[in-house]
Structure 1
Amino acid sequence: MFFIRVLWSFGLMLLLLLGNSEAQAGELAERLTNFPQWEKLTSVKPAAGDLVYPDWMAGNWQVTSTLVDLAAPLAPDIITPGFEGNRRQLNQPISFLVRFIEVKPQVSGSKLIPKIDNQNQILVADRAFNSLNLSRAYLGNKAVLSVKIDPESPNRQITFLQGERQLVSIVTARATETAPDQFITTEVFQQLFKGSSRPYFNIVESTTAYHQLATSNPAIEADQVTAVYLSPQDPDYFTAGSRPVALYRYRLDFLPPSQQNTSQE
């Protein structure tokens, strides 16, 4: 079942304003280097607010996502549903549109307001647009009906799927690191897939390092690892401990799209 993979890499990378939840220097970068030897992060902080991206990520992008590696550290004893099926995605590029927009910061639980002036603006992902495009690229247009973001919290998202199924994603913690021309972020969230005979619940961490290639040629590349952990409700939870049961590594390439491709269907 592909839903276990993070479909919200661009739509739900949320954290406190830059600097408010920074991991220890270099921890996230080192984490990517150490793939697939992972344990749960200890430096993340509770989720609040929205992620502020660097200015060089503003605008519309055509993204190509390629699964380049995957691992099941606890196999054959513990393997998540869909892991073997996801091997078919290995080295198969998938393309979709994403965009990052300027908004006024969210205050007192109010809804984010699109940019209307130059004061106090932050750059965030257009979560509904990005998540819809990403999920439809993998699952098909007919399989994904819509994506809704909680107007009171950017940390909660529901994807409505064909057959009265839903995938609920709630961000619970995150951290970030910054360096010249590089932005690294991680988020931890809960996923609940509803609509089958047995609801499936797990915990997911997504860590992504964005790198600006050149200011003269606006393009970005990213290294992303998605880790799936068992929830406390899972009978194998104590066996797995702090170790992930599935790891997926992606290469992301961002290029400016043609103007006619920037509108959502």
Structure 2
Amino acid sequence: MHRTAVVPCATPPRATRRLALALAPCAVTTAPRAWAARETASTMTPGTIRKQIFNDARGRATTYPPWMLGEWTCATTFVDASFPRRDVDARALARVPDTPGFRALSVARVPDVGREGTIEHRVRFVRVDGKTREDVGFNLMEIIDAYVGADAVEAVTTDGDDRTTIRLKPRASPNAERIELFTNARESGVEGDAFYVRESFRQVSLGYGTEYGNARVAPTDYEHRWTYTPLPDVPGGAVDETNVNKVHVKLVTAAYVQGQDALRLTASSNPRGAPVPKLGDAAGLAFEPVIVYTHVSLLERVGCVP
């Protein structure tokens, strides 16, 4: 187990913008994002990705290129949200509050996906057994503190490479007291001048329930794809991979609904009674993204981790 100290951050808390994300005209009309399972970015399409539930074996942490080693400032901006499933009504989807991104902290690495403006925090990559690895505990603390509020995270612990536990301080957020984050699948590689990482997550958020003795348990399933592109120090110059000081990052997040919500979203109307579930359509929807978020970030080096 690994425990990392809390690092305070001074950004004030704000609520997630569920209705704005689901109902904004720009989101409804945005073209589908490139996204698919087991393919590279150039061939990914929203309709072909399939949610991955189980790992064949315990995975290993991603090894990043040496030029990412060190500590960076990260400035992140929300770009847009798109709906790859044209047969799912955005207004109906807005009534499914447990869709990833619709509640604050339902996506741990982007705690408020539609936040306007630029969110700033630190990220760090360290050397482990001669390899460049993400400092998961440090990065999650920095991200959540930046979005939720200063000193919101009490501790982050890891169990191997596939499970992370995030404990928030009391009353830091009404949506979670503890978050269990499971990595179901991961993939990484080089694509042109960029390095990409794909990770599929099952997140379980636990908090106080409305009934005495019953905790609130909210599962969410989503997949992240990061694309890291090193930038030259001088515009138009060449990239020196032995001395990278700026990195452009694109993060695409595919969000899935749970099985019971897929049944409701695909049910056909019935004038004589309750809507009629369509099991085949529901099974398909449960394993395909209903909404895709895009963020961009700029990393600027501030130091190197020994």
TM-score with structure 1 setting the length: 0.71
Equivalent residues in 2 for 1:40-79, closer than 5 Å: 40-41=49-50, 46=56, 48-72=59-83, 73=85, 74=88, 75-79=90-94
The Cα RMSD (Å) is 3.0
In structure 2, runs of 5+ residues without a counterpart are: 1-14, 19-36, 105-111, 172-176, 210-215, 233-238, 264-281
Instruction: Calculate percent identity across the aligned residue pairs.
Output: 23
Q: Which residue of 2 aligns with 1:89?
A: 115
Q: Deviations over 1:174-219 (max 9, x none)?
A: 2223134311111101000001323110211001111111235621
C-alpha contact 1:178 1:184 (8 A) present in aligned 2: yes
Equivalent residues in 2 for 1:119-158, closer than 5 Å: 121-150=130-159, 153-158=160-165
- Secondary structure (helix, strand or coil) at the match of 2:93 reads coil
Q: Choose which of 185, 188, 195 in structure 1 pairs with 2:207.
A: 195
Equivalent residues in 2 for 1:1-265, closer than 5 Å: 23-24=38-39, 27-31=40-44, 37-41=46-50, 46=56, 48-72=59-83, 73=85, 74=88, 75-79=90-94, 80-81=96-97, 83=102, 89-90=115-116, 92-104=117-129, 121-150=130-159, 153-163=160-170, 165-197=177-209, 198-214=216-232, 215-216=239-240, 218-232=245-259, 234-236=260-262, 238=282, 240-257=285-302
TM-score with structure 2 setting the length: 0.62
- Secondary structure (helix, strand or coil) at the match of 2:293 reads strand
Deviation (angstroms), 1:39: 4.2
Amino acid at match of 2:165: I
Q: Deviations over 1:159-184 (max 9, x none)?
A: 11133710110001122231343111
- Secondary structure (helix, strand or coil) at the match of 1:83 reads coil
Distance in 1 of aligned mates of 2:48 and 2:182: 21
Deviation (angstroms), 1:83: 2.8
Q: Deviations over 1:198-241 (max 9, x none)?
A: 31102110011111112356210011111111234x34252633
Aligned pair in 2 of structure 1 residues 249, 100: CA closer, same or farther (>3 Å)? same
Distance in 1 of aligned mates of 2:291 and 2:255: 5
Distance in 2 of aligned mates of 1:42 and 1:228: 9
Distance in 1 of aligned mates of 2:125 and 2:113: 30
Distance in 2 of aligned mates of 1:173 and 1:128: 19
Aligned pair in 2 of structure 1 residues 212, 87: CA closer, same or farther (>3 Å)? closer
C-alpha contact 1:226 1:247 (8 A) present in aligned 2: yes
Aligned pair in 2 of structure 1 residues 38, 249: CA closer, same or farther (>3 Å)? farther
* Structure of greater Rg: 2
In structure 1, runs of 5+ residues without a counterpart are: 5-21, 105-120
Deviation (angstroms), 1:251: 0.3
C-alpha contact 2:72 2:303 (8 A) present in aligned 1: no
Amino acid at match of 1:231: Q
C-alpha contact 2:78 2:115 (8 A) present in aligned 1: yes
Distance in 1 of aligned mates of 2:113 and 2:295: 13
C-alpha contact 2:62 2:188 (8 A) present in aligned 1: no
Amino acid at match of 2:197: T
Distance in 1 of aligned mates of 2:226 and 2:114: 22
Deviation (angstroms), 1:48: 0.6
Distance in 2 of aligned mates of 1:208 and 1:202: 19
C-alpha contact 1:39 1:244 (8 A) present in aligned 2: no
Which deviates the most, 45-54 or 166-175? Answer: 45-54
- Secondary structure (helix, strand or coil) at the match of 2:41 reads helix
Aligned pair in 2 of structure 1 residues 258, 175: CA closer, same or farther (>3 Å)? closer
